Amino acid sequence: MATKFSLAELMAVASSRQIQDGEIAFIGTGLPMLGAMLAKALHAPNAILIYEAGIVDARPKRTPVSIGDGCLVPGAAMCCGLTEALGTILQRGWVDVGFLGAAQINKYGDINTSVIGDYYHPKVRLPGSGGGNDIGSLAKRTVIMMAQDKRKFVEQVDYITTPGWLGPPGTREAAGLPRGGPAKVITNLGIYAFDENREIYLESHHPGISIEKIKQNVSWEIAISPDVRETEPPTDEELHLLREQFDPQGIFLGGRE
């Protein structure tokens, strides 16, 4: 159990643990895809993974590099389009958990993937919503995965691409969103959840990451759970599957530490 692991591997494993058996999970590219495959191989064999391009319950034989990668199709239960995946599955309310990336996040879990700086004259123009706004609006709960620093955990995001809780209880509902909201945020430093005021707090810090370091990487006074603990490390089996089966080329996991 003393196997070394990278933070990318830890994040992939942490995302896998967010999927319960039998759940329907909406998957984007990258670490959550690896996490989802891991979940299905281990503790959630009856989970059904939906890929945004319109692929249901895929059985890929290599690491998919996009949500529409043709390697997801042979052996899938259903192959359709965005209307089916985002409309009749996601918007209709079938999706238990969706995964999101973020460039900026605020304490209510609202996220920005569009611009850094002024919207019309930004410092950095980012990719935009993609399916993010839909997933954040319409999945029963979301898990946000992102790199963390002070400029990413901010009091006010420069642009709300995807709504989180939007404010205290009632705010999200008042906007007309039918369900959902962020449940967890997984970063390279720790794992966060949301309290009854729908504000983010630290639930666990990754092995080797101090709470002090986490505080330094949030631009407000981050709340800490009284039960804060260290993030459960990956098991050997998880690491083995990730490295040998799901991403042997290191496309998403990168080089080993």
Partner 1 sequence: MHRIRKVSSKIMSEREAVETFVVDGIRLRSGGIGLRKPFALINETIRQRRKNITFILSGFTEDGDVMVGAGVASQLEGSYFGLEALGLAHNYRRAYEQGIPLKIKIEEYSNYGMTARFMAAAMGVPFMPVKSHLGSDLVRYHAFREKKAHLMEDPFSGEKVMLLPACPVDVAFVHAQRCDEDGNVQIWGPIGDDEWGARAAQQVVVEVEEIVDSEIVRRDPNRTILPSFMVSAIVIAPYGSHPYQCQGYYDLDLEYRKMYAEVTRTREGFERYLEDWVYGPGSHQGYLEKLGKDRLDRLRAKPYMSDPVNYGY
Among candidate residues 75, 38, 40, the one with its CA nearest the CA of residue 56: 75
How many residues contact partner 1, by CB under 8 A?
A: 79
To the nearest whole angstrom, how small is the minimum distance from the Cβ of residue 101 to partner 1? 11
Positions 74 through 113 that interact with partner 1 (CB under 8 A): 74-83, 86-94
Given the residues 9, 52, 203, 238, select the one marked as catalytic. Answer: 52
Positions 164 through 193 that interact with partner 1 (CB under 8 A): 166, 172, 175-178
To the nearest whole angstrom, how small is the minimum distance from the Cβ of residue 129 to partner 1? 4
Interface characters, 228-257, with partner 1 (x: CB under 8 A):
-----------------xx----xx-----
Confirm whether 173 is a catalytic residue. Answer: no
Cα angle 229-231-234, degrees, rounded to a multiple of 5: 150
Query: Should residue 138 be labelled a site residue for partner 1 when binding is judged by CB under 8 A?
Result: yes
Q: C-alpha distances in angstroms, 198 versus 3, 134, 182?
A: 36, 20, 9
Among 7, 11, 53, 222, binds partner 1 (CB under 8 A): 53
Q: Burial level of 91, CB count in 10 A (0-12/13-18/19+)? A: middle
How many CB atoms sit inside 10 A of residue 179's CB? 13
To the nearest whole angstrom, how small is the minimum distance from the Cβ of residue 15 to partner 1? 16
Q: What is the DSSP string of 110-122?
A: -EE-SEEE-SSSE
Query: Should residue 18 be labelled a site residue for partner 1 when binding is judged by CB under 8 A?
Result: no
Question: What does R_g of the chain's alpha carbons equal in angstroms?
Answer: 18
Among 14, 27, 48, 253, binds partner 1 (CB under 8 A): 48
Please identify, using beta-carbon distances, which residue of 62 and 215 lies nearer to partner 1.
Answer: 62
Among 26, 99, 153, 159, binds partner 1 (CB under 8 A): 159
**Is 57 in a helix, a strand, or coil?**
coil
| Separation CA 162–CA 247 (nearest Å) | 29
Supply the residues annotated as catalytic: 52
